[in-house]
Amino acid sequence: MSARRTLATALRVLRQLRHDPRTVVLLLAVPCVLQVLVHELFRDRPQVFQSLGTPLLGLFPFVAMFLVTSITMLRERTSGTLERLLTTPIGRGDLLAGYALAFALVAAVQATLVSAVAFGLLGLESDHRATVVALAIANAVLGMALGLFASAFARTEFQAVQFMPAFVLPQILLCGLLVPRAQMAGWLQAVSDVLPLTYAYDALARLAGEDPFGARFRADLAVIAGATLLALALGAATLRRRTP
């Protein structure tokens, strides 16, 4: 791994985003608008917003970074830039770390902005605001890692977009946000047990409750980190220097 090549890759990805201001605006504005929508939806039941608001803060970056990364990486694969890159001295680790760094930065801006809206304008309460933002960034990196991996299975941008509902929606449905996991059928719980977003949601939900920092919280963090590293390793394995 080389710090120079990692930083150069992160800078390049950020420059690509800078030339696409519409995507940047969508990335930053859409989660804020959605957060406002949720707030308005439960206007008469503020306690629902109090329990949903924090987990949603952490889930938006996950979804957004999954999509952005899977499409950016797919473009890299189909445009031939990846093939040429892999004939240069760049390591696969440099490439992935560069992507992770760039999108973690974007996620940090996104999470900070949505938090400012939720905590500042919508009256969401939390004693652990900085931890919520940090967790949102961790979720973004997880989404990015899964997106990198998913991009290996898409041949076209249409397929990559379809991976969003395929990879992400089941995780949102089963993570406990809509129906508490204890109320799910046994086999659904078992599926939910192996989906990384379940642990991300659990950690965020704990932050919204009383006394969040127990052993379960630490276990959640460990699973998020482990799943991210696993997805990055699998993603790296799909970046082949030699192709048939």
Partner 1 sequence: MEPAVTIRGLRVVRGGREVLHGLELEVEAGRVTGLLGPSGSGKTTLMRCVVGAQVVAGGAVTVLGLPAGTPALRARVGYQTQAPSVYADLTVLENLAYAAALLGVGRERVAETVALVGLGGHERQLAATLSGGEVARLSLAQALLGRPELLVLDEPTVGLDPVLRRDLWATFHDLAGAGATLLVSSHVMDEADRCDRLLLLREGALLASGTPAELRARTGADDLDAAFLALVEGPGGTAP
Residue 239's region, left for phi above 0, alpha for psi from -120 to 50, else beta, is beta
Q: Considering the complex, what minimum distance in angstroms separates the CB of residue 155 from partner 1?
A: 15
Q: Is 155 exposed, middle or buried (0-12, 13-18, 19+ CB in 10 A)?
A: exposed
Q: Which of 38, 90, 164, 230 binds partner 1 (CB under 8 A)?
A: 90
Using rule CB under 8 A, residue 89 touches partner 1:
yes
Q: In the complex with partner 1, which residue's Cβ is closer, 47 or 87? A: 87
Which has the closest alpha carbon to 77: 5, 151, 163, 16? 151
Q: In the complex with partner 1, which residue's Cβ is closer, 1 or 219? A: 1
Binding marks (x or -) toward partner 1, 27..66, rule CB under 8 A? ----------------------------------------
Give the pair of three-digit tokens for residue 61: 């970056």
Q: Considering the complex, what minimum distance in angstroms separates the CB of residue 234 from partner 1?
A: 20
Binding residue count for partner 1, defined by CB under 8 A? 26
CA atoms within 13 A on the CB side of 224: 28
Q: Which of 26, 41, 83, 166 binds partner 1 (CB under 8 A)?
A: 83
Using rule CB under 8 A, residue 21 touches partner 1:
no
Which has the closest alpha carbon to 193: 202, 215, 225? 202
Q: Which of 5, 39, 77, 92 binds partner 1 (CB under 8 A)?
A: 5
Using rule CB under 8 A, residue 79 touches partner 1:
yes
Distance between CA atoms of 190 and 163, rounded to whole angstroms? 22
The 10 Å CB-count burial string (b at 16+, else e) for 86-103 is: beeebebbbbbbbbbbbb
Q: Which of 3, 21, 43, 87 binds partner 1 (CB under 8 A)?
A: 87
Q: In the complex with partner 1, which residue's Cβ is closer, 4 or 43? A: 4
Q: Considering the complex, what minimum distance in angstroms separates the CB of residue 7 from partner 1?
A: 8
- What is the three-state SS of 99-166? HHHHHHHHHHHHHHHHHHHHHHHCCCCCCCHHHHHHHHHHHHHHHHHHHHHHHCCCCCHHHHHHHHHH
Positions that interact with partner 1 (CB under 8 A): 4-5, 7-9, 11-12, 15-16, 19-20, 79-81, 83-90, 241-244
